[in-house]
Chains A and B, each alone.
Chain A
Amino acid sequence: MSLEPQELNELKSKIGREPTSTELQIVAAEWSEHCSYKSSKRHLKMLPMKGPLVITEKGYDSGVLDVGDGYVVTAHIESHNHPSAVEPYGGAATGVGGVIRDILSAGTRPIAIFDGLRFGDIEKDQQARWLFKNAVTGIADYGNCLGIPTIGGEVEFDRCYENYALVDVAAVGFGKKENLIKNHAKKGDIVVLMGGSTGRDGIGGSQFASDSLESEDRSAVQIPDPFIEKLIIEAILEARNEKLIHAMKDLGGGGLSCAISETADALEIGIEMDVDKVHTRESDMHPDEIMVSESQERMLIVTSKTKFKKLQEICKKFRIGCSVIGIVKSDNQMHVKKGKKTFANLPTDVVANATLLDLPSKEPAYLKNIEKEKKLKPISDYSKIMMKLLASPNIASKIWVYGQYDHEVGIRTVVKPGRDASVLRLDNGKFLSVKIDGNPKQCYINPREGAIGCFEEACRNVVCTGAKPIGMLDHLQFGNPKDPEIFWTFLESLKGLTDFAKDYKIPCVGGKVSLYNETPDGPIKPTPLIGVIGLIDKTPQIPQIINKDDCLIIVGETKDELGGSEYFEYIHKFIGGKCPTVDFTESKKNMKSVLEIIPKKLLKSVHDCSKGGLAVAVSELSMNNQIGCKVDLNKVPAKKLDADRILFSESHSRYLLTFDKKNLSKVEKILKKNKTSYEIIGKFGGEKIQFSKGTKSIIDLRVDKAQKTWLNSLKDLVLHG
């Protein structure tokens, strides 16, 4: 129970009497940070949410984008951090389940899953290894059972997540515009609860997610059942085709309390329900428990009495539970009964709209001197450092992770995971590219520029496939918002994202805020995660094998921006310095040029420079193609930087283009026309990855050796410690 004294007083004055215990439970769940967004909602309004392709409808849990020819794409992002920190397998799996039901509730079929995972230092921390291994298995087992491909994501390790886990899941849906559920209801309609039975699992989960994680206070465990979820998907889509659904909502945090109150509030109706009608797993459940249980795999549907018979038949066919639990009224009240006895009777606008807070913010003291660099130990052998970076958990290939996910089921996957962004084929001949990106190391050093960087990186990744960004999802994860310094970092990140979204005209189509992410050692680093959805009209850039004598061009400038880089943090164990910033004009120019070249089919591949900088990006190209590469650092557009800065700076807006040298003049022509900053920095061939500065050799590595280390080190670390 986490209603604060002033909230209790407010509730009393709004309803003019003492609340019952059931009412207290319902309101505590709905007014929790997790459901009400009370700390953040006031500020989230600054994000641009409209655009020519955005379709808005009341009560949608996911963003809807029009992709032409009568088709829509839906997208949503969620996290399951607290449950995953306690039970990583079930927590991560049920996280996937929740976001999929959000996609389903708009009336679209889920076609892809993405996950962003963050844990503590797995090299030293056994608990982090256990969390990582089980969260990955949970996602794989759940997604694979559903027959929905998991096609992208990211994995990162940082000490700030010690004894904790960030499990973010995004999903994308696809469907016909005419099949979208137009949420509506009228007096006399009936309210149906469909899917799994209601049990005692996950009781109080949303409040749990809104409190900091104390070491022993870990209740709320949720058990996944992907087979029921699969049946729900098919049953709902059949009911949708038969036009049996007036309105629909997934049961997530806050269980029935939130689903009933939010549906009623959004549709401006009242709902009278009877807890005796809910199909329960145990016979002795109290109404309070039924109202706040967060049992998984359940959907709330509003339909008419005449259509219910058909809906019941569909549920019977798929052998899933379906009970009529209530009726739609016109009094805007949420009335909960058990038989004839009333347990709660509250105005829905009171329940669904917690009073929004206006929390104070203050620039954190730690930021004052963070940009000052310490003197770094000179590096004598860059080849050795390079091997160390390729083996480091944040840079090593994530094949051990995505190799466990079925990423091709559904036969839409055109570009598979392991590249910049995956690409899906749509039924109208277009292609969809989606990527999620976060960077807590940079966001810690500069919450505003760090967040913008995540946004640009996600855009860059979809641009690498030839896609134009059309929508964005944001997932803002921070510590306790009541700490003004933490709240300041939240606001700065949000303002940065808003500026970027407005300038690039990329609307925010969905998002989530997760606060109170604290471990016994303190708050996590600011971790905004950005998902970008891109659309390709005709030709996706499908990576082709790079051959001997192919050219390498870098687009964009390399700057002295190593704050938050893997080189500083992993090699020099130094947190600080200046983090990369995005120059909007340069960034847009580079994107435009790349998007202009790709459809001309001149390129073999486009790869972005991010974690580990230019050195890692070039090595990835070499290792993926098993061919050597020679790069002269003197040719890289950079203002007189030392070799290590050019190699490892994580400056944004940079792309590596590879192509047959016969296309050189055509590629250059477009770059020159757009006045893009670029340079030919090397060519492929041989069996070695070689970086030199003029005649001086800096890095000299065998491709096969580097590849072996890069591919296997994460797996070895997880399985053998």
Chain B
Amino acid sequence: MATYNVHVTIENKAGISDPEGETILNDLVLKGTHKTVSKIKTAKMLKFTIKEKDKKTAQSKVQEICDDLRIYNPMVSKVTIDVFDA
């Protein structure tokens, strides 16, 4: 068994609006002098620390937890899972 850090990023699917990101872009960033920024998207990240036999199992276990507990809504959100050695 090894320890892994698993990062779960939850963001709105492409094409679904992201009012929070748009507000940060328009009302904070573009009001300064950062005219090179064209888009900001918000996301939520969960960082799991998990003991599993390998990276692949760590990833699938976390995926399973998120699905079972409805941590995100598959209708709305896109989920990316990244695994790192702890």
Contact = CB atoms under 8 A, between A and B. Distances in A.
Interface of A: 86-87, 89-90, 130, 196-197, 199-201, 218, 221, 223-225, 227-228, 281-282, 295, 319
B32 interface: no
Given A86-B75, A87-B76, A218-B75, A227 B70 contact: no
Contact of B19 (A87, A218, A223): A223
A201 B73 contact: no
Interface stretch (B10-18, B58-66, B78-86): B10-18
A89 B73 CA distance: 10
B59 to A, nearest CB: 25
Contacts of B70: 130
Given A86-B75, A201-B15, A227-B23, 13 more contacts: A87-B75, A90-B76, A130-B70, A196-B17, A197-B17, A199-B16, A200-B16, A218-B75, A223-B12, A223-B17, A224-B19, A228-B19, A295-B17
A211 B24 CA distance: 38
B75 A221 contact: yes
Interface string B34-64: 0000000000000000000000000000000
Contacts of A89: 73
Contacts of B26: 319
Contacts of A218: 75
Contact of A221 (B16, B18, B19, B23): B16
**B: contact size bracket:** 10 to 19
A199 B76 contact: no
Given A86-B75, A87-B73, A218-B75, A223 B15 contact: no
Contacts of A319: 26
B75 A223 contact: no
A87 B16 CA distance: 13
A262 B12 CA distance: 33
Question: Which of A221, A227, A228, A282 has the most chain B CB within a 10 Å cutoff?
Answer: A221
A295 to B, nearest CB: 7
B75 A225 contact: no
A199 to B, nearest CB: 6
Contacts of A281: 17
Interface of B: 12, 15-19, 23, 26, 70, 73, 75-76
A198 to B, nearest CB: 10
A528 B61 CA distance: 45
A282 B17 contact: no
Given A90-B76, A218-B75, A227 B17 contact: no
5 contacts: A87-B75, A201-B15, A221-B76, A225-B19, A228-B19
B17 A225 contact: yes
Contacts of B75: 86-87, 218, 221
Contacts of A225: 17, 19
A130 B75 CA distance: 14
Nearest to B26: A319
A319 B73 CA distance: 31
B17 to A, nearest CB: 5
Given A130-B70, A221-B76, A201 B23 contact: no
Contacts of B76: 87, 90, 221, 223
B18 to A, nearest CB: 7
B16 A223 contact: yes
A389 to B, nearest CB: 31
A286 to B, nearest CB: 13
B5 to A, nearest CB: 28
Contacts of A228: 19
Contact of A200 (B15, B23, B73): B15
Contacts of B19: 223-225, 227-228
A228 B19 CA distance: 9
A225 B22 CA distance: 10
Contacts of B73: 87, 89
B66 to A, nearest CB: 14
A28 to B, nearest CB: 21
B23 A199 contact: no
Nearest to B73: A87
B22 to A, nearest CB: 8
A199 B15 contact: yes
A282 B39 CA distance: 12
Contacts of B23: 227
B16 to A, nearest CB: 6
Closest 7 pairs (CB-CB, A-B): A225-B19, A200-B15, A223-B17, A86-B75, A221-B76, A87-B75, A221-B75
A223 B17 CA distance: 6
A225 B18 CA distance: 9
Contacts of A295: 17
Question: Which of B17, B26, B70 has the most chain A CB within a 10 Å cutoff?
Answer: B17
A224 B19 CA distance: 8
Contacts of A223: 12, 16-19, 76
B43 to A, nearest CB: 14
Contacts of B17: 196-197, 199, 201, 223, 225, 281, 295
B29 to A, nearest CB: 15
Nearest to A199: B17
A89 B75 CA distance: 12
A653 B16 CA distance: 49
Contacts of A87: 73, 75-76
A225 B12 CA distance: 14
B15 A282 contact: yes
Contacts of A196: 17
Contacts of B12: 223
A412 to B, nearest CB: 28
Nearest to A281: B17
Nearest to A127: B70
Nearest to B20: A225
A223 B16 CA distance: 7
Contacts of B15: 199-201, 282
A200 B17 CA distance: 9
A672 B73 CA distance: 60
A197 B26 CA distance: 14
Contacts of A221: 16, 75-76
A199 B19 CA distance: 12
A201 B13 CA distance: 10
Contacts of A197: 17
